[in-house]
Amino acid sequence: MIISKTLDYAVRTLTYLGKQPSGKTILMKEIAENQKIPVSYLAKVMRQLVKAGIVISEYGPNGGYSLKKNPSEITLRQVYEAVEGELKMIECFDTPGSICVFTSQCGQADIWYEIETKLVKILEGITIQDIIIRDDLYPQKLNLNKQENKYANP
Amino acid sequence: MIISKTLDYAVRTLTYLGKQPSGKTILMKEIAENQKIPVSYLAKVMRQLVKAGIVISEYGPNGGYSLKKNPSEITLRQVYEAVEGELKMIECFDTPGSICVFTSQCGQADIWYEIETKLVKILEGITIQDIIIRDDLYPQKLNLNKQENKYANP
DNA sequence: TACATCGTGGATATAGGATATCCAAAATTA
DNA sequence: TAATTTTGGATATCCTATATCCACGATGTA
C-alpha cells in the first residue's frame, strides 16, 4: 500500500470541508466523528494542512476549520506533500547523509526519477474537486452495494 | 520513499545477473559482495525471485543463479510484484477483512485506482534491459563524480 | 558411498516509522 | 473571567521492513 492512513485522512477531511457551504467553519470534532478518524490523531493532521496553507483554522467559539482555497485549486500533490513531505521514490545521493556507492553508475536511479516525475505530474492533475464530483456520482451505487455495506466497519 | 530496499536489492541483483555472459551461474555470495547486500537477507530476496520465475537457481558445486528470461523481458512490474506483491495504492474493500465504511460513497478510491493503473502501466513499460543500458552510459559520469564518490558508503 | 558445495525454508530478532494518545498552553469569544 | 477550540510537544503503541541464524535438501565430485 502506498497511500498511508494519514494521507487518506487528509483527503477525506478536505473533501468533507469542500462540500460545506463556503465560509462555514467546521469543528475538528465534527470532522473526526463524520469521517471516523481518531480526534487526537486528526489534530496532528490538521496542523499539517494548516501549515501547508491548505486549510484555515480559527480559535475559540465559532472556531474550527475551513478551506483556504477552492477545492479545484487543491491538488493531490499538495495534499501528499503536506502530510508526507516531498514525493520521493528512492533515497540515495540526494538525501543528505545517505550517499550510495552506486550513484556514479546507477541506471536504476534515473529510471525511478523519471517515474517519480510522471507520478508527481499525475497527482498535480487531480484536485479535491475531482473527488467531490466522484462522490456525487455515488447515490446510485449505494443501492447496488447495500448488501456489502452491511458488513462495513471503520 | 516508495521503493523499499528489498526492491532495490532485487533490481540491482537482476541488473547484475543481466550483465553476465548468458548461461553463467553466479553465486549468491558474489552478488551480495558485489552489490553490498547482506547475504542472509539476499537469500530471502533470491527465493522470491526464483518463486516468481524470474531467476533460475542451481544447487551444489558450480551452482548459483542466472536469469530465466532475457533482461528485456523482465519488467519492473514483475520485479515489484515478486518482492512486494500486487501493487496497491489503497487498502479498502477489496482487501479481505478490511471493509471500509466509505466504499459505497468514496470517490477517492476511484481516483487512486486510476492512478494505480497508470503506475502499473509505467512499470510494465520498463525492463531490466533499460537499466543495463543506462548503467552503460555512466563511465563518463564516473569521472565527473569521482569527488563525491570518495565519501560513498553502502 | 562419502563429502564438500550451495540454495531452501522457516523461525526469530531488531529497528524505525506510522499511528495513536494525552495534556498543558495559546487564542478567541462572550 | 469563563467557556470554547486549536496548537505544540511529549510520549506510547503497534506494525512492518530489514536482518540474522541454522538445520535441511539438492547437487556434483572423488
SS3 A33: helix
* Least confident span in A118-127, B39-48, B140-149: B140-149
Residue B11 has a pLDDT of 96
Residue A1 has a pLDDT of 65
Name every chain B residue with its beta carbon within 8 A of the beta carbon of A104.
138, 141-142, 145-146, 148-149, 152
Of B91, B135, B146, the CB nearest to A1: B91
Show the cell assigned to B103: 466504499
- Is the CB of residue B53 less than 8 Å from the CB of residue B91? no
Residue B144 has a pLDDT of 43
Protein residue nearest nucleotide D6, by CA to C1': A59
For residue B143, the tally of other CB atoms under 10 A from its CB is: 10
Residue B151 has a pLDDT of 32
- Is the CB of residue A118 less than 8 Å from the CB of residue A89? no
Residue B116 has a pLDDT of 94
Residue A147 has a pLDDT of 37
- Is the CB of residue A119 less than 8 Å from the CB of residue B114? no
**Which amino acid type is present at position B134?**
R
Of B144 and A18, more confident: A18
Residue B147 pLDDT more than 50? no
Residue B107 has a pLDDT of 84
Residue of A nearest to B36 (CA): A101
Residue A104 has a pLDDT of 65
Low-confidence ranges of chain A (pLDDT < 70): 1, 92-99, 101, 103-104, 139-154
pTM of the prediction?
A: 0.86
